[in-house]
Structure 1
Amino acid sequence: MLALRRGGSEALIPPEVLARMIRHLEAAWPQEGCGVILRSGAGEGGSWRVIPLPNVSPTPHVAYAFAPEAWLQVCLDADARQEEVACVFHSHVDAPAVFSAEDRRQAAPSGIPLLPQVSYVVVAIRGGRAASASRSVWRAGDFQTVPLALADFRFEKPV
């Protein structure tokens, strides 16, 4: 399972949720895919939702952008369901799974994080398949990035 930040602590995302995220990102190839993972409840009894979002970037092969109206709807729905954004995710097409300079600029314009308690997951998609992944979190005034084992994402269970 993958640990993501939540309100200053770590929360474990079930493998089947991660598998849904990977399937969405692989299906988006050869464009970058993107979306969020929402969480409600606390502890082991919490529930998770993967919300794929359309990539409205003018250059979707090398960048991603959420449509403002889609992002607003996610936020309104999450608030109504008492959920929190646990993760923002996107893919890099035929490129490394690193939190790029552009990713940093989008997540922290002027060096101020927009979602400081949220994890950012980047998945490298090569030839339509996930090849590698990383997770970045805001700590000590910058994003800290660690690689993720893709074995964590290959849990295939009917959902």
Structure 2
Amino acid sequence: MLALRGGGSEALIPPEVLAGMIRHLEAAWPQEGCGVILRSGEGEGSSWRVVPLENASPTPRVAYAFAPEAWLQVCLDADVRQEEVACVFHSHVDAPAVFSAEDRRQAAPSGIPLLPQVSYVVVAIRGGRASSASRSVWRAGDFQTVPLALADFRFEKPV
């Protein structure tokens, strides 16, 4: 499982949720995929949901953007369901899984984070398959990034 920050605390996201995120990002290739992971509840009783979003960037091979109306709908639905955004995720196409300068500018315009309690996951997709991943969180006035083991994302429930 992967610990992600959300709502001011660290929480373990179940592997099958992470696998859903990876499936969406691989399916979006050769464009960047994007979305969010929402969480409701606390501790062992937490419930998780992957919300894939369409990439609304005018240059979707090298950037991602949420359409404002889609982001608003996610926020409204999350409010009704008493969920919080735990993670914003996106892929990099045939490029490293690093939280780029552009990712930083979008997440913290003017150096102020838009979602300071949220983790950002970047997954490198090469040839349609996830090859590496990283997680970034806002700490001490900047984003801190650590690599993630893809083995954590490759869980599939037995059939």
TM over 0.5: yes
Bin for the TM-score computed over the shorter chain: over 0.9
Deviation of 1:67 (Å): 0.4
Paired residue total: 159
Could you give the per-residue CA deviations for residues 49-102 of structure 1, whole angstroms, max 9, x where no partner exists? 000000010000000000000000000000000000000000000000000000
Could you give the per-residue CA deviations for residues 86-130 of structure 1, whole angstroms, max 9, x where no partner exists? 000000000000000000000000000000000000000000000
Moved more, 149-158 or 110-119: 149-158
- Tell me the residue number matched to 1:18: 18
Q: Following superposition of structure 1 onto structure 2, how do residues 53-72 of structure 1 map, counting pairs within 5 Å?
A: 53-72=53-72
Deviation of 1:19 (Å): 0.1
TM-score normalised to the size of structure 2?
A: 0.98
Moved more, 7-16 or 92-101: 7-16
Deviation of 1:6 (Å): 2.2
Gaps of 5+ in 2: none
The runs of at least 4 aligned residues of structure 1 exceeding 3 Å deviation read: none
The 2-side partners of 1:26 and 1:99 are apart by: 18
Could you give the per-residue CA deviations for residues 17-49 of structure 1, whole angstroms, max 9, x where no partner exists? 000000000000000000000000001111000
Local SS of the residue matching 1:113: coil
- Report the RMSD for the aligned CA atoms in angstroms: 1.0
Q: Is the Cα contact below 8 Å between 2:7 and 2:86 reproduced in 1? A: no
Q: Is the Cα contact below 8 Å between 2:7 and 2:84 reproduced in 1? A: no
Q: Is the Cα contact below 8 Å between 2:92 and 2:124 reproduced in 1? A: yes
* Identical-pair percentage: 94
Local SS of the residue matching 1:134: strand
